[in-house]
Structure 1
Amino acid sequence: MSTGNLQVRGLTTAYGAVVAVDEVDLVAEPGRITAVLGANGAGKTTLLRTISGLVRPRAGQVLLDGADLTREPAEAIARAGIAHVPEGRGVITELTVEENLRLGALLGASRRRTDRGLAQVYGMFPALAQRRRQDAHVLSGGERQMLVIGRALLSGPSVLLLDEPSLGLAPRIVAQIFALVRGLVDAEGTTVLLVEQNARSALSIADVGVVLNLGRVVAREDAATLAADAALRHAYLGF
């Protein structure tokens, strides 16, 4: 059983001649939220896509509890315990909320574990419980974000990769989603690697902040220290 210690060593990913992730080192630990911050084009999404196996790196390693997953296919990486929630809130609108959630349990979960996981997700997201029999197309943007996070949790991950969960949501809903993520980490000890452009909100719930610029790590600090560094914030984070 994975404990969720994620290490990235010297990771380099390129699209042709364009290097999107350039020798990145980072550690995401169990029970902590590591926020990856930076402007558009900094390499944040490519970093998550490389970790989850959707993109092959040019060099470097991705390790989960010491096991090298770098060259494994995406399905094997998911089975190992890394769940990726990509940007865009992709739900299957023709399916019900519960049918969408059950898709997350297709990686071999038993019926009992699936039922237990559904109960936990509904406890975490009461709005989904109320709409469990309704088609997903009726959901608001915030509810869809809850649904894709809940679907990822049904796979029983030790590491959760979240890509821009605040995108397009009202500030009140962003605060709610982030509070739920913080609560999940505190209650379950899950490792969360959070990619966000909303740096102020991300740092408010994160334990560690990593700043990328043009694919390279330019800062790595405790979240509170990073938030207090006015020069760095102004240079790279826009607030």
Structure 2
Amino acid sequence: MAEAELEVRALTARYGAVTALDTVSLRARPGEITAVLGANGAGKTTLLRAVSGLVRGSDGSVLLGGRELAGAPAERIARAGVAHVPEGRGVITELTVEENLRLGELLGTTRRKRRRVHRLDGVYEMFPALGQRRRREANSLSGGERQMLVIGRALLSEPEVLLLDEPSLGLAPRVVAQIFTLIRELVDREGLTVLLVEQNARSALSIADTGFVLNLGRVVANDSAAALAADAELRHSYLGF
């Protein structure tokens, strides 16, 4: 079971003269879903990219179980146990479903684990639609199935922390509910640390334990998910519901 807490301390990131993250601090605890919410341009995606090493922060720390990750190459961060599922369901469409999944399995074998929690058959059990299409090219999958595929591939890398960027984007409400239910069940069963970036704040708060609200690169609120959902002024000002 994963037991690593992710802590971001005063993280700042810039794109040229534009400050995308301004001294952002947060904690994401094992066995919990921590939602990062806010409007477009709030800095949510930049936060995940800075944690996973795709964006270099100009200042601040990113700690995984007390180990400093800020400034490390993205592949080293991945091998340390951070799996990033980016926005857009980035599958390799020319490969089959199973070939895509085995890419995650390859990364998992490079990490020193006492036991392997996730295997292909376990992913197929979690996502039966992928098992039924395991020999098909990924370009034949629906949007919801592609989202299942990238999450399954990330799990096969044996992460301690799972970064999810807009997993509901472009999906039908029924599929969103299915994906979010699976994420909640996964966290409850295996104790993963999940940092969930979502513009669909209502759905995210329905499965999250805690939440942080970003606006123009700054944290403007953080509390339990239930407290954020109950704050009408906050919801109207920043969350759009």
Q: Does TM, normalized by the shorter one, top 0.5?
A: yes
Give the CA deviation at 1:43: 0.1
Give the CA deviation at 1:108: 5.1
The 5 Å alignment of 1:97-176 reads: 97-107=97-107, 109=109, 117-176=119-178
When the two chains are superposed, the root-mean-square deviation of aligned CA atoms in Å is 1.4
- Shift of the 116–234 alpha-carbon distance from structure 1 to 2, 3 Å rule, reads closer
Distance 1:2 1:206 in 2: 18
Letter of the 2:230 counterpart: A
Distance 1:132 1:34 in 2: 31
Letter of the 2:45 counterpart: T
Distance 1:181 1:162 in 2: 10
Distance 1:106 1:202 in 2: 30
Distance 1:115 1:127 in 2: 21
Distance 1:124 1:21 in 2: 35
User: Alignment partner of 2:205: what SS?
Assistant: helix
Distance 1:93 1:29 in 2: 34
Q: Which runs of 5+ in 2 are unaligned?
A: none
Distance 2:188 2:91 in 1: 27
User: Alignment partner of 2:56: what SS?
Assistant: coil
Give the CA deviation at 1:3: 2.2
TM-score, normalising length: structure 1: 0.96
Distance 2:70 2:214 in 1: 21
Quote the residue 1:26 is aligned against. Answer: 26
Distance 2:150 2:75 in 1: 17
User: Alignment partner of 1:49: what SS?
Assistant: helix
Distance 1:197 1:4 in 2: 26
TM-score, normalising length: structure 2: 0.96
Per-residue deviation, residues 200-234 of structure 1 (Å, max 9, x unmatched): 00000000010000000000000001000000000
Quote the residue 1:42 is aligned against. Answer: 42
| Identical counterparts, % of pairs | 75
**Structure 2 contact 7–26 (Cα < 8 Å) conserved:** yes
1:3 and 2:3 are equivalent in the alignment: yes
| Counterpart pick for 1:199 among 201, 220, 229 | 201
Distance 2:165 2:118 in 1: 26
**Structure 1 contact 102–114 (Cα < 8 Å) conserved:** no
- Shift of the 162–108 alpha-carbon distance from structure 1 to 2, 3 Å rule, reads closer
Distance 2:102 2:180 in 1: 23
Aligned residues, how many? 237
Distance 1:208 1:124 in 2: 25
**Structure 1 contact 2–64 (Cα < 8 Å) conserved:** no
Q: Which runs of 5+ in 1 are unaligned?
A: none
The 5 Å alignment of 1:48-63 reads: 48-63=48-63
